[in-house]
Structure 1
Amino acid sequence: MVELITPNWPAPAKVKAYTTTRCGGHSQSPYNGLNLADHVGDDTEAVIANRTELVETLNLPLEPIWLQQVHGTQVIAGYSKNRGCTADASFSTLPGQVCVVMTADCLPVLFCNRVGTCVAAVHAGWRGLAGGILEATLQRLNMPAENILVWLGPAIGPQAFEIGDEVYKAFVDFLPQAVDAFKPSRKGHWLADLYLLARQRLAHQGVTAIYGGDFCTYTDVERFYSYRRDKVTGRMASLIWLYNDSF
């Protein structure tokens, strides 16, 4: 049986959002469970079966708009014709178009507005965060920041995410208060808080209604895939779409 996480945020009823775990599914070791990625070496038929089970479990109106993620800052419109495009975020104002990103330590970020007329899904590892993927998404949504709600999904926690000086510098040079998101671990290395870095970048753009951010994919072995922990592993999916009665 597919195990899902439902975001705890005050999104309008017409906004539907979920994140998968690794529990359930058809993939065998080392992808054990509900691997939804077709680029990590898993058996193709198992991935197809996993994606089919996800669609059926959630009664999705359409096949999700799966992306070719590259740790960049490209944001595309969530149309079915854009399925398979190279991008790290998609947004939609149309009912039934399912925006989705896949992660296994990187941060999935879901957006909606307070009246439920737009949604977005973002893949934000440190490269994407530093490069401005959240800012690029807000630009495409093109509405006042106070109208935006954000949910931070399962990512590697601050006690497990060690990075080097170049990552530290990339964030602090842009936003000096980012120093609060780093703790020294050993010479030239830091423990980084992806959740806090995302909150800071969003707040810098005026977004303050931010929820979630209380998971750790690295330490929660039973529920989550983690690239840092396992190297060869599957991917979870975070999905969001606008619902109406015609679907």
Structure 2
Amino acid sequence: MSWRSKAVTAMTEERLKALAKLREPFADHQINVLPKPYSKDAPKEFCRICNSRHGMPAAHLDYVGHAALTDRLLEVDPEWSWEPFALDDSGLPLFDRNGGLWIRLTICGVTRIGYGDMGGKNGANAVKEAIGDALRNAGMRFGAALDLWHKGDLHDAAEERGRDPEPAPPAVDVDALLVEVENAPDKTALQDLWRKSGPIADEARKAEVRALIQARLQDLEQPEQQTLDA
């Protein structure tokens, strides 16, 4: 390997190590709590969880603030930068018709896209809110505070449905399911077992169940065919 190739390889490995730091968990003191009342017209009460007044009852979502994220970005890449997708006539970042801001975030030479909104704020605070939100959103594309975003997405999805988050589907014992397929008495039982295999995440094992069900269907059809032939 030439010295130039070695230098490029070393540079790539160094960049990957730096980017990997973005995925490290944030310390507890860097995580803030955002209350989300279950109802928009919920009566306001003092909350001991976040020490503020807001609609109650409410869920509380963990999130990383602008300052903590900026500190992490500087630690990973002191020369990180962001830029808006477009500028207005005054040369300032252009917001879309929804009041949102599209940005490109560049860290260690890698650029990814993010989007932020004003969070219902007005004036200068709205601009700062949109920028901070866009940076957090783009940072998530690099893995920064991804676990906290995941929890928030689960809550938002449940809120849209108007009910609590659905529990994860029960794990399927594939080996036991294969035994049931072997002993299935008819096509209806095989159809029920195929539906039961739905939560299997391992595609290879799910294909194994599918193949055995298809083989059993053929076995069940053969006696019928022989009777017809006779």
TM-score by length of 2: 0.23
TM-score by length of 1: 0.22
Structure number with larger C-alpha Rg: 2
The structure where helix makes up a greater share of residues is: 2
